[in-house]
Structure 1
Amino acid sequence: MTGMRGLSVFISDIRNCQNKELERLRIDKELGNIRTCFKNEKVLTPYKKKKYVWKMLYIHLLGYDVDFGHMEAVSLISAPKYPEKQVGYIVTSCLLNENNDFLRLAINTVRNDIIGRNETFQCLALTLVGNIGGREFAESLAPDVQKLLISSSCRPLVRKKAALCLLRLFRKNPDVVNVDGWADRMAQLLDERDLGVLTSSTSLLVALVSNNHEAYWSCLPKCVKILERLARNQDVPQEYTYYGIPSPWLQVKTMRALQYFPTIEDPSTRRSLFEVLQRILMGTDVVKNVNKNNASHAVLFEALSLVMHLDAEKEMMSQCVALLGKFISVREPNIRYLGLENMTRMLMVTDVQDIIKKHQAQIITSLKDPDISIRRRALDLLFGMCDVTNAKDIVEELLQYLSSAEFAMREELSLKAAILAEKFAPDLSWYVDVILQLIDKAGDFVSDDIWFRVVQFVTNNQDLQPYAAAKTREYLEKPAIHETMVKVSAYILGEYGHLLAGRPGCSPREMFSIIHEKLPTVSASTIPILLSTYAKILLHTQPPDLELQNQIWAIFKKYESCIDVEIQQRAVEYFELSKKGAALADVLAEMPKFPERQSSLIKKAEDAEDTADQSAIKLRAQQQPSNALVLAAPQPVNGTPPPVKVPSMSGSQDHDSAAQSHSQPNGTLSKVEPQPPSPDLLSDLLGPLAIEAPPGSLPTDERGGSTGAGGVPDVVDGAAIVPVGEQMHTVEPIGNIAERFHALCLKDSGVMYEDPYIQIGVKAEWQGHHGRLVLFLGNKNTSPLTSVQARILPPVHLKMELSPVPETIPPRAQVQCPLEVINIRPSRDVAVLDFSYKFATHMVNVKLRLPAVLNKFLQPIQLTTEEFFPQWRSLSGPPLKLQEVLRGVRPLPLPEMVNLFNSFRVSICPGLDPNPNNLVASTTFYSESTRAMLCLVRIETDPSDRTQLRMTVASGDPTLTFELKEYIKEQLITIPTGPRATPPSPLAPAAGAVAQPSSPAVAADDPGALLAGLL
């Protein structure tokens, strides 16, 4: 580029542009000039062509598309002079890929340069092929590249590039290397004295032996000799010594190649190799220089992998474990991580588990490390090293750690603790204790498989049944327990509570009373289990207790009209069966033993197992730029939302066959009927909220503040105000609060707010018109947060009750605050959380929108033609059916629009509209005023103009129709924030839909709005 004044001026112009628009204008002008010059070949001198091709490359590197001039770049490859040829090779390798047709024009020129005598041209050609060579290059050029590699007349620089070029061609087409003829030549290359050629050749060897090691046995002793040479630092030039380590890259590649050979049979070669490995193990230590550490540890950990692969003597294995034990105790987190990871791999080797157990205390200490990657590796290692001798200690440590573990690890931690307790339990009563403690400490993260499994054990072991019943009876005494504990306790007491007869507090009436106290706190999925328990208690009450019988019958009668089919069926059948006297004992007999089968927990762990590298990648993708919260004192969640009436759209639930009847112990008539598992709502609570969410629906004033309760404008989702003395300072939140809110509108868990002092997370459950949010308030600092206050500013359509918030949050601790929500009527208004706290002398106050929005009270439903059209016809026009033409819509393809509707719980019903460009959708809305209200939607798109569409929304409630139409409109089009339109009054029929001035309304009874040929 020396002397190209026009190129230098162009680069200066680009750098001097004040904004992106000016840069784009300058580049468009230059691209137009280049295109004009390329068309006029008469004035296109080699110098100009070279200059313009350089400019194209610079524009490409800036991120702009360059869709012309490729032919000119390729033609420079055939130029006779180096400056033009260099430009051609460099620009071609940057602009084109292996599938580009222009490359075929250059194959002959590239081959001529490779077989020519100009070493500079050879290097340019080999670099191009090594970067973008595809199958055609491999078939045409591989023989010539091989000749260069084994040629004794070529300089090392050329041969080094030839080895890497051949590696690229082999990866594209393995057939280009003939195994029979190349094995001996590969062995000869390993005798090379030049370390540059040797390093490149070893990279090629690794690829070859990974494909077929049988053909390259002759290379094995050569690899050992290379390692000996490097270990003794014999004939290693200074430029290949990195911080005193002889060519660490070559050492790593050579040991990696050796790991593809199954074994080393020659005693002399094996002895030499172990001497080298011994020298590496003895000579590696942790030093202050980070670069030297990285290089020496790369060699060390590859040597450890080779030692494990070769199944070395126990003495060397002990030495490896001792070295790793030293690594897991240092302060540097990267070294601790590698030590734990490699110690986990050592578990695959026989006879080292007892040696690893000596470091158990240090491994347990790693569970409390600030770095979650290290904690994960420590958990994996403890899980792998556990056996009968140390299971009790490890499981107790895991249970203790469970109270302070962050949410990202609790599910995995619970699963592994449950598996260890099952595999290595010294007695079954200890196993029951462990599982019940797991459920008590981490109920949200305990999968249904865990409590199903403990029920199976109790059912199959008669001696265990009284103990399990007594323990679950103790847990029910607690004022607040998790719903999973209610399930397992109710089931076990229903089956085996009668075995406690005579003990204090264990009469049928007392057991019924303590179980029935939990009924208002559980969800609809638990009520069937409780009903079965009541029926079993009634069965085992001898002599009959008429008062208890009347109480239970009243409950059955209450749920006989429940809209949930499962609850209704059980209530009706239990009530009728309880009148049958002796027949009740035959139908509700004790559950038979479960058939022996592989533990579903172990299978689940195997399915979820991944490598350490994959775990680290996933972790890095999920981490937030904030400190992890540590749960200091777990607050039991006081149940779940009260049961609500949820319509079964399918008419009945599907039940599995007898093979599945023993898999989910819910209480039974003649079989155990499965309940839907509770979703893991907190699995990504601290994960990234990378969701493109709709604009907020909170009304704002002209300054961007929201309108709080009573119409008083407040700053919502803005910076928190911190009074310091007489001055006002601002605490900047971490992350975009509005984006977090929009993401939570489509998700049920995540981080709602974070600043340097506190993190507020939310987890929500929604059922019908009821909702339950749990706010997680986490103190990120080592000092307490005081004067904590939280109050809800609810809109008039929501009834909200927040549990008391503690005035002080301890250092590095987290508290949970349940929030009950009841939806009274349809509205898009949003509740606001007014939250404040004091840190040191600073008082912080922030107002946050709560994700209790309209779509949370929707339940998607799929309708057939027979179900949809009678409803559509019955809603004849405004105000129950509104239609609007929307313009300025985001141009979404139909599949993306389908995904968008599904994201806010409106289900697309395929095949109902004969026009493939239209969408028909349905959902059910829940509120106290409307109950379960069916909503129907039709979207008519214009294939020629995706920026406009016509939308028709229909429901049995005028307000709901308007609010749902406006909500969907907000998702499809950017609406300027301003005063919200007033919904049509149900008493005042409108002539058409209420619409924005830019989107005129269309009467919904227009024939064009009806489904073609069907209405």
Structure 2
Amino acid sequence: MALSGMRGLSVFISDVRNCQNKEQERQRVDKELGNIRTKFKNERGLTPYEKKKYVWKMLYIYMLGYDVDFGHMETVSLISAPKYPEKQVGYIVTSCLLNENHDFLRLVINTVRNDIIGRNETFQCLALTMVGNIGGKEFAESLAPDVQKLLISSSCRPLVRKKAALCLLRLYRKNPDVVNVEGWSDRMAQLLDERDLGVLIAVMSLLVALVASNFDIYWSCVPKCVKILERLARSQDIPQDYTYYGIPSPWLQVKTMRALQYFPTIEDPNIRRSLFEVLQRILMGTDVVKNVNKNNASHAVLFEALALVMHLDAEKEMMSQCVALLGKFIAVREPNIRYLGLENMTRMLMVADVQDSIKRHQAQIITSLKDPDISIRRRALDLLYGMCDVTNAKDIVEELLQYLTTADFGIREELALKAAILAEKFAPDLSWYVDVILQLIDKAGDFISDDIWYRVVQFVTNNEDLQPYAAAKAREYLDKPAVHETMVKVGAYLLGEYSHLLARRPGCSPKEIFSVIHDKLPTVSISTVALLLNTYAKILMHTQPPDQELQEHIWAVFSKYESYIDLEIQQRAVEYFALSQKGPILMDILAEMPKFPERQSALLRRAEDTEVDTAELSATKLRVQQQMSSAIVVSDQRPANGSLPTGQIKMPDVGKVEQGPRQANGALSKQDAQTASPEPDLLGDLLSPLAIEGPPGPVVSFPSSSLLSLEGPTEDSDPLALAILGEQPSSIQPIGDVAERFQALCLKDSGVLYEDPFIQIGMKSEWRANQGRLVLFLGNKNTSALTYVQAVLLPPAHLRMKLSLVPDIIPPRAQVQCPLEVVNLRASRDVAVIDFSYKNGAVPVNVKLRLPIVFNKFLQPLAMTTDTFFPQWRALVGPPAKLQEVVRGVKPLSLPEMANLFNSLQISVSPGLDPNPNNLVASTTFYSEATRAILCLIRVETDPSDRTQLRMTVASNDPNTTFEFKEFIKEQLVYIPTAPSVASSAPTPPPLPPVRSSSGITDPAAALAGLI
């Protein structure tokens, strides 16, 4: 930024830098902004030099982080200046201060176009730079043809054509329709014959974007790309300016190989041979040197070449050469190179016939598992997991178990999950599998999901020969002084079912088994106590005739818990106590569990999905994933289907939701039938550190009517916690919790709305008064196109919505944007729904998603003082303008927590306004077409002794707005249970008296009026 001759600007910058603190800086900036505003009001007296100086000052102030909300017209007007200094300032500052949707940009489209098509190269560069920086749909539609002409013009200098290529790339990303693909493919092939490397790099960036969306029509570019690589590999006609540490234009090499990866395997033998010669030269000529900059450049080229070799499915000899080269990299000291070596070796696992070559480096990979850098440890873990098979499973799992005790907490969960999957998938015998899982629980119980020990129970139940061994191992682990609760669960279950098989072994009599388990009872949670009571009943069942002393001990435990506060424990204690008095009949009632149905393990099914995903992680997919959020926990929240047989507590079906061990055969308690909730798949994403959750509650099968919980809100559901509407096809399940995604978007303006294995729907929105503009991003995650794409809006009556046309087909690994315009007509809490459907091959998918266009999106916080609040409050008297309600069942929030909640909903809390410190006063402005801007006031009176109740008073000039606003706030405050409520015979408590303020005044208007 040239400051010569602008003394005022230099002095201002010097003053700002000399400020002692932030407050002084702010005062100096405010003073300067006031001066600039005054000067702009008297614009007639400003010379072009002065206007330029003040606009530079505005840019500097903006760069300091201050808002500059005026002077935009003066800035834009400089673009039309005839001289370069003023025009330069106009273009630069406009690029920084204005975004693509700013109205002022429309005023300069003609001026910018005249500069682009003019003959002044300096002005052309300025205009292309600004258009490329701002982008925008209007710029794309108006200027793209002129930019294309500049790019293909033979009379333009390379500097201009280079900027034109990058500008066209930005416009294409904003609006792909600006490039006519049918007529442009031949032009692109001609542009690749360019000798100037600067233009060629810019053109190659454009080609990468074009072939990512549609490669079919650009096949003519493939031979040209190979020729470019040959030219670079042989250093033919490469200017010194484009040679980086002896490497000919590494950026162009990387972009060219990246473009080739979007095409399927090349069949032409001549082109294929030439390309492999270049790749062979790159593989053979790359080594680690001392110069870090040269290493970075050469390795960028090398790893892109490796990705291209894998993509082209090269011969086995070249693949083995790649593995050997990566083996050298994972052994060097430089951590960045080791990381890249491990990552690319993991990607090599997708190639056939290289598994054995990778196994030769197993020792070095295991060494990397203990690297100080956690990112290298994670990559080593991924590689070990991917290369494991029946031949090396024992060695790898044993290494993981040894490393588990010293691994840091950030990786233990992933480590334990992968070890469990490998042990199950490649177990040479089931006893070894049981040993591995029990060791996992013993060494990392806090990081073990319940699904893992559920699976052990299934194996033991289904294999009679394994039962004595598993029971004996459980007995050994329970003898330890410190045992994790998960070990108590699995041990108690196994001993309850099979301890009678150990009766002749020392230390395994029923009394001793009961004693070792009962010692753990005081240390476990409520859910585990229920399982232990089940175990005690089983021990009594196996001890026939009963041991009187043991029977008395167990009966005493049952009697103790008959009056326990938890209904589940109480129910079990009562029923088991009654059943245990039946004598030999107990053997029939509490018989051993039958075998589980033979179905694929949920762990292995998830592992296979993970392996398929890993096999597809080509360089192309990795780049797509950088643009689309991933690594989200998959949570299957479908309730298990099936009827509930009388006399047996049944678990969900193994094939649908991985199940825990079934409970004893006995009378079905009402509590079991009423309180259990659908159990989510806690291993939704095997690699996610968020996958492990707390211990599940009791699990039973649900009738098919339970599916209604996915179809719409119920009386007990949070209106904002809205999941997918409609029943999902059983084969396609969403990734992540859709309800949580919806809730998050209700409070923020961008994020992921929905995701499944094939598509991700993101959303970005902005809100102004009663209008909103949203953009839906439909991203195809797949390698094949999504067809029959449809999106139908189901708007409520209070919203006027317009969705741009959604394309019928989303190309592979492409993303389309669908603008959605919203106008709020009146106050309502109804939520809009979008009916979205598509086909992936022959698989149809249909989901109905709730859009986060909710009440608080049309609120604008308004801070008020005593002088402004009370006149408004007193003017609104009684229903329907002012409504009051005593709300019970409130989430127990402290006053600061409640204030934070209100602020997140765009409702401004005014602290200290209410005379009672236990009360809260807030205000906001609601916008709709019917009411325009309407002031909404709220007062919340809390009871410090009982945070579960409060009194709320809401007021506004519009009765409908008052009611909807009150109900909306109530929904945010009231505690919504996540499971169906438990039927109880307890009498309904009498209504609480009205909450009173400390002064004894029950009318909030009178209380507030007393302040003035």
Match of 2:533? 531
Match of 2:999? 1003
Match of 1:664? 660
Are the aligned partners of 1:885 and 1:1002 in contact in 2 as well (CA < 8 Å)? no
Match of 2:70? 68
Paired letter, 1:665: P
How many Å separate the matches in 2 of 1:870 and 1:327? 64
Match of 1:893? 903
Paired letter, 1:541: T
Match of 1:548? 550
Paired letter, 2:108: A
* Equivalent position to 2:142, from 140, 143, 147: 140
Paired letter, 2:575: E
Shift, 1:1002, TM fit:
2.1
Shift, 1:23, TM fit:
1.4
- Give the secondary-structure state (helix, strand or coil) at the position aligned to 2:950: strand
How many Å separate the matches in 2 of 1:187 and 1:132? 28
Match of 1:428? 430
Shift of the 678–569 alpha-carbon distance from structure 1 to 2, 3 Å rule, reads farther
Are the aligned partners of 2:442 and 2:483 in contact in 1 as well (CA < 8 Å)? yes
Shift, 1:868, TM fit:
8.5
- Give the secondary-structure state (helix, strand or coil) at the position aligned to 2:526: coil
Unaligned runs of 5+ in 2: 632-648, 691-884, 910-917, 921-935, 957-972, 974-994, 1008-1012
Match of 2:279? 277
Superposed, which structure 2 residues align to 1:493-642 within 5 Å? Answer: 493-603=495-605
**2:129 is the counterpart of 1:127:** yes
Give the percent of matched residue pairs that are identical in Structure 1 and Structure 2.
Answer: 75
**2:392 is the counterpart of 1:380:** no
How many Å separate the matches in 2 of 1:59 and 1:559? 71
Are the aligned partners of 2:414 and 2:687 in contact in 1 as well (CA < 8 Å)? no
Match of 2:938? 917
Q: Deviations over 1:819-848 (max 9, x none)?
A: xxxxxxxxxxxxxxxxxxxxxxxxxxxxxx
Superposed, which structure 2 residues align to 1:2-13 within 5 Å? Answer: 2-13=4-15
Paired letter, 1:91: V
Shift of the 264–617 alpha-carbon distance from structure 1 to 2, 3 Å rule, reads closer
Shift, 1:369, TM fit:
0.3
Paired letter, 2:595: K
Paired letter, 2:660: Q
Worse overlay, 587-596 or 124-133: 587-596
Worse overlay, 594-603 or 325-334: 594-603
Match of 2:404? 402
Superposed, which structure 2 residues align to 1:149-160 within 5 Å? Answer: 149-160=151-162
How many Å separate the matches in 2 of 1:429 and 1:1010? 76
- Give the secondary-structure state (helix, strand or coil) at the position aligned to 1:938: strand
Shift, 1:263, TM fit:
1.1
- Give the secondary-structure state (helix, strand or coil) at the position aligned to 2:948: strand
- Give the secondary-structure state (helix, strand or coil) at the position aligned to 2:150: helix
How many Å separate the matches in 1 of 2:543 and 2:521? 21
How many Å separate the matches in 1 of 2:1005 and 2:509? 66
Are the aligned partners of 1:556 and 1:572 in contact in 2 as well (CA < 8 Å)? yes
TM-score of the two chains, using structure 1 as the length reference:
0.66
Shift, 1:29, TM fit:
1.4
Match of 2:413? 411
Match of 1:113? 115
Paired letter, 1:66: V
Shift of the 668–214 alpha-carbon distance from structure 1 to 2, 3 Å rule, reads same
Q: Deviations over 1:199-229 (max 9, x none)?
A: 0000000001001000000000100000000
Paired letter, 1:549: Q
- Give the secondary-structure state (helix, strand or coil) at the position aligned to 1:426: coil
Paired letter, 2:430: L
- Give the secondary-structure state (helix, strand or coil) at the position aligned to 2:68: coil
Paired letter, 1:200: A
How many Å separate the matches in 2 of 1:667 and 1:534? 12
Shift, 1:192, TM fit:
0.5
Are the aligned partners of 1:451 and 1:488 in contact in 2 as well (CA < 8 Å)? yes
Are the aligned partners of 2:414 and 2:689 in contact in 1 as well (CA < 8 Å)? no
Q: Deviations over 1:926-974 (max 9, x none)?
A: xxxxxxx965342658889xxxxxxxxxxxxxxxxxxxxxxx9xxxxxx
Shift, 1:598, TM fit:
2.9
Q: Deviations over 1:407-457 (max 9, x none)?
A: 111111111000000000000000000000000100111110100010011
How many Å separate the matches in 2 of 1:426 and 1:172? 55
Shift, 1:871, TM fit:
10
Q: Deviations over 1:518-572 (max 9, x none)?
A: 1112121111111111101100112221111111111100100001111111100
How many Å separate the matches in 1 of 2:541 and 2:256? 74
Match of 1:250? 252
Paired letter, 1:590: E
How many Å separate the matches in 1 of 2:904 and 2:278? 63
Worse overlay, 8-17 or 658-667: 658-667
Paired letter, 2:903: P
Superposed, which structure 2 residues align to 1:475-490 within 5 Å? Answer: 475-490=477-492
**2:959 is the counterpart of 1:938:** no
Shift, 1:583, TM fit:
2.8
Q: Deviations over 1:685-730 (max 9, x none)?
A: 999xxxxxxxxxxxxxxxxxxxxxxxxxxxxxxxxxxxxxxxxxxx
- Give the secondary-structure state (helix, strand or coil) at the position aligned to 1:936: strand
Shift of the 608–229 alpha-carbon distance from structure 1 to 2, 3 Å rule, reads closer
- Give the secondary-structure state (helix, strand or coil) at the position aligned to 1:893: helix
Q: Deviations over 1:848-907 (max 9, x none)?
A: xxxxxxxxxxxxxxxxxxx988999xxxxxxxxxx99999988952748999xxxxxx9x
Are the aligned partners of 2:79 and 2:88 in contact in 1 as well (CA < 8 Å)? yes
TM-score of the two chains, using structure 2 as the length reference:
0.66
Shift of the 225–41 alpha-carbon distance from structure 1 to 2, 3 Å rule, reads same
How many Å separate the matches in 2 of 1:486 and 1:1007? 57
Shift of the 201–656 alpha-carbon distance from structure 1 to 2, 3 Å rule, reads farther
Unaligned runs of 5+ in 1: 623-654, 688-866, 873-882, 900-905, 909-914, 924-932, 945-967, 969-991, 994-1000
Shift of the 892–346 alpha-carbon distance from structure 1 to 2, 3 Å rule, reads same
Are the aligned partners of 2:601 and 2:658 in contact in 1 as well (CA < 8 Å)? no
How many Å separate the matches in 1 of 2:45 and 2:897? 50
Shift, 1:49, TM fit:
1.1
- Give the secondary-structure state (helix, strand or coil) at the position aligned to 2:583: coil
Displaced runs of 4+ in structure 1, greater than 4 A?
603-618, 655-658, 670-680, 683-687, 867-872, 883-892, 896-899, 918-923, 939-944, 1007-1011
Q: Deviations over 1:768-817 (max 9, x none)?
A: xxxxxxxxxxxxxxxxxxxxxxxxxxxxxxxxxxxxxxxxxxxxxxxxxx
How many Å separate the matches in 1 of 2:140 and 2:326? 44
How many Å separate the matches in 1 of 2:689 and 2:186? 56
Shift of the 668–1008 alpha-carbon distance from structure 1 to 2, 3 Å rule, reads farther
Are the aligned partners of 2:147 and 2:167 in contact in 1 as well (CA < 8 Å)? yes
Match of 2:304? 302
Paired letter, 2:45: V
